[in-house]
């Protein structure tokens, strides 16, 4: 039924690992492609994804990430094998995992995060930053990429989200 269709989504991204930012971007951009109004609210460590200095440097965490078994087949191990935590702590391993994910993404025609933010806003999507988190990390709007539309309080975020489904990634 027409009335049951989702018309608007507000996606919250509170974490800043490469693997934690992509789901928010893909969901949000995918919404625009379906004609759904979409915004992303970056808060807490998610702010990394919209910081000029960090947007190209997001990483995949290889320590304390029990889901990395999914990457084991790339190293010719079974998909159920746990990724050893000690291995994740070796210098360069996080960078390697990050590089692998970036390559996989590129192969799937998914852009790097900075290009993705531009694509999303060109598609009419809106990007917001959380004021409280900005204050906590002593950031100003100048620290953020140009695609950020506004810095919002939680109250303003809910105001902008009127009528939307709110998704926490």
Binding footprint of other proteins on the chain (CB under 8 A): 26, 29-30, 32-35, 108-111, 119, 122-124
Q: How far is the CB of 35 from other proteins (least distance, A)?
A: 3
DSSP state of 144: B
Cα 144 to Cα 48, 117, 165, 166, distances in angstroms: 9, 12, 26, 23
| Residue 2 or 109 having the CB closest to other proteins | 109
| Residue 95 or 123 having the CB closest to other proteins | 123
Are residues 13 and 40 in contact, defined by beta-carbon separation less than 8 angstroms?
yes
| Residue 114 or 143 having the CB closest to other proteins | 114
Q: How far is the CB of 152 from other proteins (least distance, A)?
A: 24
Q: How far out from the chain centre does Cα 77 lie?
A: 28
- Residue 140: which of 127, 128, 131 has the closest Cα? 131
Q: How far is the CB of 129 from other proteins (least distance, A)?
A: 22
């Amino acid at each position: 039924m027409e009335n049951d269709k989702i018309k608007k989504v507000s996606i919250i991204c509170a974490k800043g690992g490469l693997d934690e930012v992509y789901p928010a971007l893909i969901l949000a951009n995918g919404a625009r492609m379906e004609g759904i109004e979409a915004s992303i609210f970056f808060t807490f460590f998610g702010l990394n994804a919209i910081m000029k200095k960090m947007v190209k440097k997001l990483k995949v965490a290889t320590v304390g990430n029990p889901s990395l078994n999914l990457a084991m087949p790339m190293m010719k191990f079974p998909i159920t094998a746990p990724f050893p935590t000690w291995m994740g702590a070796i210098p360069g391993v996080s960078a390697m995992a990050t590089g692998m994910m970036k390559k996989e993404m590129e192969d799937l025609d998914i852009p790097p995060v900075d290009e993705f933010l531009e694509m999303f806003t060109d598609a009419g999507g809106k990007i917001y930053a959380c004021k409280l988190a900005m204050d906590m990390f002593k950031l100003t709007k100048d620290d953020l990429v140009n695609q950020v539309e506004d810095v919002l309080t939680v109250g303003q975020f809910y105001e902008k989200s009127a009528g939307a489904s709110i998704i926490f990634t």
